[in-house]
């Protein structure tokens, strides 16, 4: 059975992106869903000095292993100031130092929702460039507001 990682780029307790990604993934049949919250993989703010001194946080090694062992990812990204959230960028930065590309070219369903009218589309659009940079195969993008 295919293993699918399901999470949001949020560390908010009541994340609407977490709710969206959990709801969306509930329509998948015959797959093993691994649903988690990014706040359970907390890591200090990335710095090259910290990496040199202390190495990689255990949480980031664990998340990198989960990405390596999955068959695909469903991810919903909140938008902060037209960009990605600090917690998501920090996660990407750490994991990209462990083993690039961050999402290991796994198939990715990218979603976003926001309380605003544009549904996080500015961030999603810039993520298309970001995806290429990271080597993601971004197959499908869905946005809602």
Ligand X SMILES: Cc1cc2nc3c(=O)[nH]c(=O)nc-3n(C[C@H](O)[C@H](O)[C@H](O)COP(=O)(O)O)c2cc1C
Record the tokens describing residue 8, joined without a space: 């949001």
Q: Rounded to the nearest 5 degrees, what angle is found at the Cα of 67, between the Cα atoms of 60 and 8?
A: 75
Nearest distance in Å: CB 111, ligand X: 10
Cα separation, 55 vs 57, in Å, equals 7
Nearest distance in Å: CB 21, ligand X: 9
Nearest distance in Å: CB 23, ligand X: 13
**3-state secondary structure (DSSP) of residue 114:** coil
Closest CB to ligand X among residues 97, 118? 118
Nearest distance in Å: CB 48, ligand X: 26
Closest CB to ligand X among residues 11, 104? 11
Asked if residue 103 lies in contact with residue 140, where contact means CB atoms within 8 angstroms, the answer is no
Cα separation, 132 vs 51, in Å, equals 25
Closest CB to ligand X among residues 43, 84? 84
Q: Which residues bind ligand X (CB under 6 A)?
A: 8, 10, 12, 15-18, 78-82, 114-116, 118, 120
Closest CB to ligand X among residues 52, 117? 117
Asked if residue 64 lies in contact with residue 99, where contact means CB atoms within 8 angstroms, the answer is yes
């Amino acid at each position: 059975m295919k293993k699918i990682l399901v999470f949001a780029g949020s560390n908010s307790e009541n994340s609407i992106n977490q709710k969206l990604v959990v709801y969306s993934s509930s329509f998948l049949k015959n797959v093993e869903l691994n649903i988690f919250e990014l706040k359970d993989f907390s890591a200090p703010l990335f710095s090259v000095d910290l990496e040199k001194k202390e190495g990689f946080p255990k949480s980031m090694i664990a998340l990198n292993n989960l990405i390596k062992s999955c068959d695909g990812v469903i991810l919903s990204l909140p938008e902060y100031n037209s960009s990605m959230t600090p917690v998501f960028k920090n996660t990407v930065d750490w994991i990209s130092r462990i083993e690039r590309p961050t999402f290991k070219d796994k198939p990715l369903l990218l979603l976003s929702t926001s309380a605003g009218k544009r549904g996080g589309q500015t961030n999603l659009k810039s993520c298309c460039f970001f995806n290429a940079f990271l080597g993601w195969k971004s197959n499908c993008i869905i946005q809602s507001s």
